[in-house]
Chains A and B, each alone.
Chain A
């Protein structure tokens, strides 16, 4: 496990002081998720996963299709809740799932509470960029401010700053259709970063980019990690992306197979 010393500019709400620097940002135990596809057809996507993410880490979750890596990311990103231990959904060994984020227990939060944490303390980057097509680059970034209840001039300057961080301040007024794939992904990264979240989760962030753009985006993530101590969790197929990370969690059949540095 890696524990990077308190980085500059890291969100104060997680890094309260230097003495808790070894406390994990995100910790999950006994995480299970079973999807019910039909009456008798259930898929055990996660079969009891323990995971620990330290502040300032860049972690890749890798594995073949169907290994449960996306499901794990959805649970870590509070998009889905893990199954309860008493769930009749099969395979339960009676162990209670645990999930804490920034020291808070987040297993049993309501949809509204999880939404609030996603808006304020997490950032998301998706494979196909997922920008809102009718909004300009700046407005897409501002959307994240808006959902985190930040508005007015402060939000605007934060959004412009985030675009500058990803090198796109010149293109703030362009719509997604007027931007290249690499540029769109950089806008998405700016949107994920604008609220200075404790954690950025990225699902195949380079999956739709050629190798030159992949290098560009990876370089950007590494620089943001280095300069701002930003914690990243990336789900990826790409060995090159895995190699650029501090740590790789390899998954297979809904379980963590191994971890490597």
Chain B
């Protein structure tokens, strides 16, 4: 209470200082939540994309592409020693509007023969409503929607949805995975091949037949064998082929994520440093104003440690108040932005309890540290000189 009264002596100055910390913690909470979300996508994505399998695509390069490949490659890959299963697949953007870069994961249509990867997936997909696709769905226009897509288009099991010009009946909605499947529409393999063909330019299309076209393969090595020797042999089949193993994905995604994280957390920390300096300034000014009062307290018997403690506690309180308000505002923004983004499928933030608690602790400690130097200065004052101070 006394500390609050001390702080309220100079209301505007205290408010501005608290505002400085508030902005710093707000930035840390918001950017920290963004970093959490990115880490989560990368972590879960690593599990999803690479179930111990090698991704193969056409067009080479280090990142997967959606160029057309001949289904006949399947048999040639299968012939490589140590290859266990090859799963052909087709992927395309949900619509051409989504082809441009977007924050988060783009909405996709994916198709592969059902049941081939059973028992090998490390990210197990579950239906929150309805069911997953089965081999018996081949030939019919049915779709299983990721949870974000279902929410975005307000579709439930039994509804119909138009994908690339064809009507599909929703038979299932996936439980949340935090990664790509949330934003995917899964359709039977043949339907996928047919839709994919419509996305290609007519010149390319003319040379292809739907039943022979794929955009890639998931190659599962036999248990206990290294993916690297297989990768080399796949690339030997055609210089056109690009491959990615789980380790490659982690390296690629990890380096992007690490860079983004450091930028985001860096921005937060810079704003906090500015906030921290404003606490130092406030406490130094407040102590200069209270020199006389510190002199009285020293004269009537307050020890040096006592004076330091009072001032440090006061500035820690500034930090704590600022941190709590910053956290509240940050949490509000994160929640509102996620709510707004939910309809369009872009969930950008994830505020964890750890981020929340550590940001308040951090701001409190920062406040205490900022108060320490002015406090030491105050404690060293000569009581007689301080009493004479005007």
Contact = CB atoms under 8 A, between A and B. Distances in A.
Interface string B289-304: 0001101111111111
Given A111-B304, A143-B300, 17 more contacts: A74-B384, A79-B384, A115-B298, A118-B300, A119-B300, A124-B300, A126-B387, A130-B296, A132-B293, A133-B9, A134-B2, A134-B6, A135-B2, A135-B5, A147-B302, A147-B303, A147-B306
Contacts of B330: none
Nearest to B301: A119
B5 to A, nearest CB: 4
Nearest to B303: A115
A134 B9 contact: yes
Contact of A134 (B5, B296, B384): B5
Contacts of B382: 80
Contacts of A118: 299-301
Interface residues of B, number: 21
Nearest to B4: A134
Contacts of A120: 301
Interface in B189-206: none
A129 to B, nearest CB: 9
Contacts of B292: 130
A144 B299 CA distance: 10
Contacts of A122: 301
B383 interface: yes
Nearest to A70: B384
A144 B293 contact: no
Interface in A107-144: 111-112, 115-116, 118-120, 122-124, 126, 130-135, 139, 143-144
A172 interface: no
A143 B297 contact: yes
Contacts of A133: 9, 293
A256 to B, nearest CB: 21
Interface of A: 74, 77, 79-80, 111-112, 115-116, 118-120, 122-124, 126, 130-135, 139, 143-144, 147-148, 191-192
A111 B379 CA distance: 11
A116 B293 contact: no
B300 A191 contact: yes
Given A74-B384, A126-B387, A134-B9, A115 B2 contact: no
A33 to B, nearest CB: 11
11 contacts: A115-B298, A118-B300, A118-B301, A119-B302, A124-B300, A130-B296, A132-B296, A134-B9, A143-B300, A147-B297, A147-B303
Given A130-B292, A134-B5, A116 B297 contact: no
Contacts of A139: 2
Interface string B1-39: 010011001000000000000000000000000000000
Contacts of A135: 2, 5
Interface in B281-333: 292-293, 295-304, 306
Given A79-B384, A112-B304, A147-B306, A132 B299 contact: no
